[in-house]
Structure 1
Amino acid sequence: MSNDGVSSVSEWWQGAVIYQIYPRSFCDSNGDGVGDLNGITSKLDYVASLGVDGIWVSPFFKSPMHDFGYDVADFRDVDPVFGTLEDFDRLLAKAHSLGLKVVIDQVYSHASMDCEWFQESKKDKNGDKADWFVWADAKPDGSPPNNWQSVFAGPAWTWSAARKQYYLHNFLSEQPDLNLHNPAVQEELLSVARFWLDRGVDGFRLDATNFYMHDPELRDNPPYKNGNAVRPFDMQDQIYNQSHPDIEKFLTRLRTLMDGYGAKFTVAEVGGRRSLEEMAAYTKGNQLLHTAYSFIFLEEEELTVPGIRGAIEDWDRAADSWPSWTFSNHDRRRVVSRWKRSRPAEAFAKAMNALLLSLKGTIFIYQGEELGLPQADVPYDRLVDPEAIKNWPETLGRDGCRTPMPWSCEGAGGGWPAETWLPFDAAHFPLAVNAQEEDPASTLAFTRDLLALRKAHPALVTGEINFLDVPEPVIAFTRTLGNETLLCVFNLGEEQVAWTCPITPQKFLLGIGGVESAHQNRLPVCGGFIASV
């Protein structure tokens, strides 16, 4: 082990760039307006041409789609809207033939109310699956067992007339929480993992990892002062409904299983106020997960030097493991809309891709970020996201980052053959793939150049990161591996700034935002560079 807590020999995922695909919105192969597995397969040559190392495919499992795949009814099958298991096998084979790793979601904190496990659990308090979910009696007055609130607003408990008890759901009422305190549930989930590993997947992204286990005593959560709270969930300190210490024991079992399959990869999604502490706990040593990412960049409303630098340095202080970073995903507003402010959109999109791809860690790029897509505007009557509908208009939900990928700027369909499950935003058509493929100055072309540069310089992949103390709003850091040191400089402000380099660059490698030299004394808005020193 090296002094940064990772193996001195890099694993494939250390410094890898993984492209996130949201299946419903990536590519439609059969004309029903919903993306599918065969659509993904048809576009894998495009994905490989970007220069990424792998793909993360969001859930495609059988589901009633109350939460669009994160409510799983059958953990070992493909939902017909996406295709078949054979279609997935073809996707996997094609990806591997192109040198792409395939990471898929695993949702272990909850299932769908349509899942056979829940149906059995609901009907019989004494059956084989009676304790596969979290059940509790009502209080004497008929109210829920405690004060826990769901992420999507409202109590985290729903009454079942069939069982005459409440069941726990940290998310939608259609997503009952699995009881991972039950060894039989753990065995079943490990069997699910084995099913997909046997098919040849290269790793798992573990959804809502810190929600895997709750306090068995069902104690009330204490209040939490939050002047910006939109949901009751935000008014509690989530001590007891999640983050139980025994989560680590289950993760150890999962890691042991995966290690038996060779070079597999695990990344945890961890949100909440204690995310840094929990990510460090879930990735410590060599018996738990490989890495984790939080919502720290996804939930930041402003782009600042302390925000970027603080997140990186906080991880290095707290965790003895490899970090992961992303600026956008299927759950949060796209970075161009969230952080742009007065900056020019195209230049800002390029700068953010350059900044992200310069950081130390495993990098996740959400589909469309290579095009610089802004958040789509989805009218209320076309919303489908349950979070958006419940909390409208205070929160705009997730639909705006999930609209279909624009493959073509020609015609009304964006390259899709039918009316789509979410509408296209007209602002996305000029940014379509076919338009940017023809433009050597496009965000797409620039992102390909970035990824090629990253591959050509190992210091950008696995090198150490060290920040320089330079005046804000400039952020500057070095990436060092062996004898190679690269200097990365970015103007994060909304105005041009004066700049004096504190170290002498040797070779100019990449200009950002019109910068043509590492020695110029002013950095334009969205300007920066990467140079060797």
Structure 2
Amino acid sequence: MSNVTQMTETPLDKDWWRGAVIYQIYPRSYQDSNGDGIGDLKGITARLPHIAALGADAIWISPFFPSPMKDFGYDVSNYTDIDPMFGSLSDFDSLIAEAHRLKIRVMIDLVMSHSSDQHAWFIESRSSRFNPKADWYVWADAKPDGSPPNNWLSIFGGSAWHWDPTRMQYYMHNFLTSQPDLNLHNPEVQDALLDVTRFWLQRGVDGFRLDTINFYFHDKELRSNPALDPSRRNASTAPAVNPYNFQEHLYDKNRPENLEFLKRFRAVLDEFPAIAAVGEVGDSQYGLEIVGQYTSGNDKMQMCYAFEFLAPDYPTAPRVGEVQNAFSAAAPEGWACWAFSNHDVVRHVSRWGADVLDRDAFAKMLAALLFTQRGSVCIYQGEELGLTEADIAYADLQDPYGIQFWPEFKGRDGCRTPMVWDAQALQAGFSTAEKTWLPIPVEHQIRAVSAQYGDPDSVLEQYRRFIAFRKQHPALSKGEIRFVTAEGPTLIYERIFGNETLLCVFNMGPDEQAIPLPEGDWQALEGHGFESTVDNRNVELPAWGAYFARLA
């Protein structure tokens, strides 16, 4: 195995992740280098200059491990290799070397709650009840009537238990039946996963995004979940049509045993310099509480993100204040990583802006809102172009989630369509193939990088401008937050770091507003791309406008 050194041209910053802008890459859809219609590692490497020009501090690459691709890489059949469709380990080494040359850190997606049913571990585990890996997955006997051991449900629909005729037992799967859950109560499983972590750290990765971090442990007693009061159902973890939302998930996930494992995981990270991890907390009922637990004490996760801003509902001014204040209360020692879009949810310009007339202005305002929150930031490929959710025909669907719940829930393919690079090129410059793994919408092609690059009024240039503005003012990336006003469409808060206090004023509505400035000698800042006028201490903002100032 070749080792790739970490970034050495700049002084070591163990806190690089605090306030970082992390750019998520869905490798199937970023850039195809060999003409098969599917993105790959060489394609990512070729497009790294785009990310460097954007100003992102790091990339997070969704899974690229060998996989039968039933869940498009989130069903891993080998944790220490590259799926041939994406390339090879040497391609990955080249990607890291080029990213580090461009001062971009590399984080990869680790899926440790479950594997593919084609992983060698599971093949051995299911072969008998007495083999060396018999207890590496979650197995349970049927009830006397042959039914599953309890009422746990799968996020992808139906029971979380699947009958295996060889062992004459059920195995647990929180997701697809082809994604059996690993049994992290077994120390050998923990050790094996920590060895996987070291493998990638030794190749030079700078950190990890941990998929479904709160799903690692189950209740050893296999107690059934209680019903959830209908008034508390929230569809941000699973679509509203999924009965998964009908249960209070006390026993199938969110278990306290996870805290000790996360300490073991952090200890492995600390064996290497300047490594960071962000955990995905998939829970709409206890998300912020879990984030607080997992990021406390400086001995578990550096940061986590929950689903508050990935939810269907528009984050109104009051809601933004509620979420930040709730996070501060739940995780006083913790650090959040916020995202508005990712590979699992409807793109936020569509999710929140279905009735918005000026979607570019809307996208720019939301970007500024995201980049001025207290916490680190994840942005999802294509977000910087203001891409909308693609409407994928049923015949073109790839996502098993959408196929299961169509048409009430159309799945996740609409946010996973290929990146658009060149408005004039075949397949928008993504691929030379006649057909790509998902179709590229015409409305995306006209928003390609080539059509926006250098246009000061474009969403892309606004993202570049505002990320640079954020880096100029440490209060925006590392400072505290204090809310002044969060009423109606008006949102005002301060970001404070050292001797610098910045004022952030947002008009989160479709109508012009005159917003009174709070007390203080505020000096307007430039370089952020928003226009406004101040008249007699009133900031006049257009629809979806923003204003930024520094306390003199």
Q: TM-score by structure 2 length?
A: 0.93
2:48 corresponds, among 44, 49, 57, to 44
1:80 corresponds in structure 2 to 84
Aligned 8 A contact 2:466 2:529 in 1: no
Asked if the contact 1:26/1:35 (under 8 Å) is kept, the reply is: yes
Equivalent of 2:432 in 412, 417, 425: 417
Q: 1:197-226, CA deviations, whole angstroms, 9 ceiling, x for partnerless residues?
A: 110101111100110000011111111133
Correspondence for 2:391: 377
d(CA) in 1 for partners of 2:486 and 2:292?
29
Task: Measure, in 1, the Cα distance between the counterparts of 2:14 and 2:123.
Answer: 45
Equivalent of 1:234 in 232, 245, 266: 245
Question: Are 2:335 and 1:333 equivalent residues in the alignment?
Answer: no
Residue of structure 1 equivalent to 2:540: 522
- Among 287, 290, 294, the alignment partner of 1:278 is 290
How far apart are the structure 1 equivalents of 2:14 and 2:316?
31
Task: Tell me by how many angstroms 1:517 deviates.
Answer: 5.3
Q: For the residues of structure 2 that align with 1:456 and 1:465, how far apart are their CA atoms?
A: 17
What amino acid sits opposite 1:296 in the alignment? E
Q: Is the 8 A contact 2:14 2:273 kept in 1?
A: no
Q: Identify the residue that residue 523 of structure 2 maps to in structure 1.
A: 506
Residue of 378, 403, 410 corresponding to 1:389: 403
Give 3-state SS (helix, strand or coil) of 1:78's partner.
coil
Q: 1:297 aligns with which of 309, 314, 321?
A: 309
Give matches, 1:322-361, under 5 Å. Answer: 322-340=335-353, 341-361=355-375
Residue of structure 2 in register with 1:174 after alignment: 178
CA change 1:471–1:179 in 2 (3 A) is: closer
Q: CA deviation at 1:445?
A: 0.8
Out of 106, 126, 148, the residue aligned to residue 110 of structure 2 is: 106
* C-alpha deviation, 1:443, in angstroms: 0.9
- Which stretch has the larger CA shift, 224-233 or 325-334? 224-233
Match for residue 532 of structure 1? 550
Question: How big is each residue's C-alpha offset from its partner over 1:231-274, in whole Å with a ceiling of 9 and x where there is no partner?
Answer: 12111111111111111111000001110112100111002111
Give, in angstroms, the shift of residue 329 of structure 1.
Answer: 0.4
String of CA shifts for 1:361-409, please: whole Å, max 9, x gaps: 1111111111111111111111111111101111121111100000111
Counterparts of residues 77-476 of structure 1 (less than 5 Å): 77-226=81-230, 229-272=240-283, 273-319=285-331, 320-340=333-353, 341-415=355-429, 416-418=431-433, 419-469=435-485, 471-476=487-492
Q: Say which SS state the counterpart of residue 81 (structure 2) adopts.
A: strand
> Residue 34 of structure 1: SS of its match in structure 2?
coil
Contact map agreement 1:38 1:91 (CA 8 A) in 2: yes
What are structure 2's unaligned runs of at least 5 residues? 1-12, 234-239
Q: Summarize the Cα distance change of 1:188–1:403 in structure 2 as closer, same or farther, 3 Å threshold.
A: same
What secondary structure sits across from 1:130 in the alignment? coil
**Whole-angstrom CA distance in 1 between matches of 2:249 and 2:295:** 21
Please say if residues 221 and 238 of structure 1, whose CA atoms lie closer than 8 Å, have aligned partners that are also in contact. Answer: yes
- 2:184 maps to a residue whose letter is L
The structural deviation recorded for 1:157 is 0.6
Distance 1:522 1:343 in 2: 20
Could you say if the C-alpha distance between residues 142 and 475 of structure 1 is closer, same or farther in structure 2, counting changes exceeding 3 Å?
Answer: same
Structure-1 separation of matches of 2:444 and 2:538? 34
Whether the 8 Å contact between 2:112 and 2:182 is mirrored in structure 1 is: yes
Alignment match, 2:7? none
Q: What per-residue deviation string (whole Å, max 9, x for no partner) do you get for residues 416-448 of structure 1?
A: 211110111111111100111142221111111
**CA contact 1:59–1:104 (8 Å) conserved in 2:** yes
Distance 1:54 1:459, change over 3 A: same
State whether residues 305 and 474 of structure 1, in contact with CA within 8 Å, keep that contact through their aligned partners in structure 2. yes
Gaps of 5+ in 1: 1-8
Q: 1:472-530 CA distances to partner (integer Å, 9 max, x unpaired)?
A: 21111111112211111111112222311123421332565543558654321111122
Q: How does 1:14-33 map to 2 (within 5 A)?
A: 14-33=18-37
Identity over aligned residues, as a percent? 51
Which digits, 9 at most, give the CA deviation of each residue in 1:150-207, with x for residues without a partner? 0010000111111111100000001000000001000000000010011010111110
- Aligned residue pairs total 525
Shift of 1:300: 3.6
Q: Distance in 2 between matches of 1:521 and 1:249?
A: 50
**1: distance between equivalents of 2:187 and 2:518?**
57
Residues in 2 aligned to 1:274 and 1:25: alpha-carbon distance in whole angstroms:
32
| Counterparts of 1:439 and 1:132, CA distance in 2 | 54
* Cross-structure match for 1:3: none
Cα RMSD (Å): 1.5
**Secondary structure in structure 2 of the residue aligned to 1:468:** strand
Separation (CA, whole Å) in 2 of partners of 1:474 and 1:124? 62
Amino acid at match of 1:41: T
| Distance in 2 of aligned mates of 1:359 and 1:300 | 19
- Kindly state the Cα deviation for residue 307 of structure 1 after the two structures are TM-superposed: 1.5
TM-superposition CA deviations, 1:77-129 (whole Å, max 9, x none)? 10011000110010001001110110101111000000000000000210000
CA contact (8 A) 1:132 1:179 kept: yes
Asked if structure 2 preserves the Cα contact closer than 8 Å seen for 1:511 and 1:528, the reply is no
Matched letter for residue 439 of structure 1: D
Q: Is contact 2:390-2:415 (8 Å) kept?
A: yes
Deviation at 1:318, TM superposition (A): 1.0
The AA in structure 1 aligned to 2:432 is: P
